[in-house]
Chain A
Amino acid sequence: MNWNEDKSISLSQGCVCAFALLLAGLDGFGYWLLQLFAQMKGREPGWGLAFYIALLLGSVFGWLALGKLWGLLKSIKAGQVFTAENIRRMRVVSWCCGAAGLVCLGAGLLYLPCLVCAMAAGFMALIVRIVKNAFQQAMLMKDELDYTV
């Protein structure tokens, strides 16, 4: 298979689209699914609605992060990798992961397994933040290299 950088970025963009579809599905059918789940598990009335509100709150950060990831991939495809704009995008993605983690932490009061999601989101925020720090250093190095004659 003839694999190259462009195809790799296209795959990443496809994954972002897939996650966007998944998120849209959760936003659209989440309430119905949660009501179904609440009925199956015999949860008290109002549980589904409370969990759906938490899900919508988390999805706001999800959409924001996906938008920034899409912009980041477009920029990388255009050959502009170590730029201040990309670093800003990564910072936003990192904060979005952290915020979604906090929402999951709150949702853990309604459904305990959400604590695992909270931990995963917090860990993801940390990873993105470290990659952002690396990008920041790379940008400084590139800047220096660009002005080395």
Chain B
Amino acid sequence: MEILVNLDVMMAKRKISATELAQRIDITPANLSILKNNKAKAIRFSTLMALCHELQCQPGDILEFVDDEE
């Protein structure tokens, strides 16, 4: 049971690089990499809001709940 971050999929759809996205939402490329590689333990609403704003998507487009038990 986990939450997957499909940021790379959305970034590919919007044709935006990690460096550019990090600059636009004002976080470090290292932190964006943590998020993109599913290493993050939590995400702030402010970060999620900035991501949705820049990528023009909904939180559900970035986050996905995966239930291993099924």
Residue positions of A touching B, CB distance < 8 A: 143-144, 147-149
Contacts and interface: CB of A to CB of B under 8 A. Distances in A.
B12 interface: no
A73 to B, nearest CB: 30
Contact of B34 (A143, A144, A147): A147
Interface of B: 27, 31-32, 34-35, 39-44, 47
Given A149-B31, A149-B43, 18 more contacts: A143-B41, A144-B41, A144-B42, A147-B34, A147-B39, A147-B40, A147-B41, A148-B40, A148-B41, A148-B42, A148-B43, A149-B27, A149-B32, A149-B34, A149-B35, A149-B40, A149-B42, A149-B44
A89 to B, nearest CB: 26
Contacts of A143: 41
A148 B34 CA distance: 9
A141 to B, nearest CB: 11
A144 B31 CA distance: 13
Contacts of A148: 40-44
Contacts of A147: 34, 39-42
A144 B42 CA distance: 7
13 contacts: A143-B41, A144-B41, A147-B34, A147-B42, A148-B40, A148-B43, A148-B44, A149-B31, A149-B32, A149-B35, A149-B40, A149-B42, A149-B43
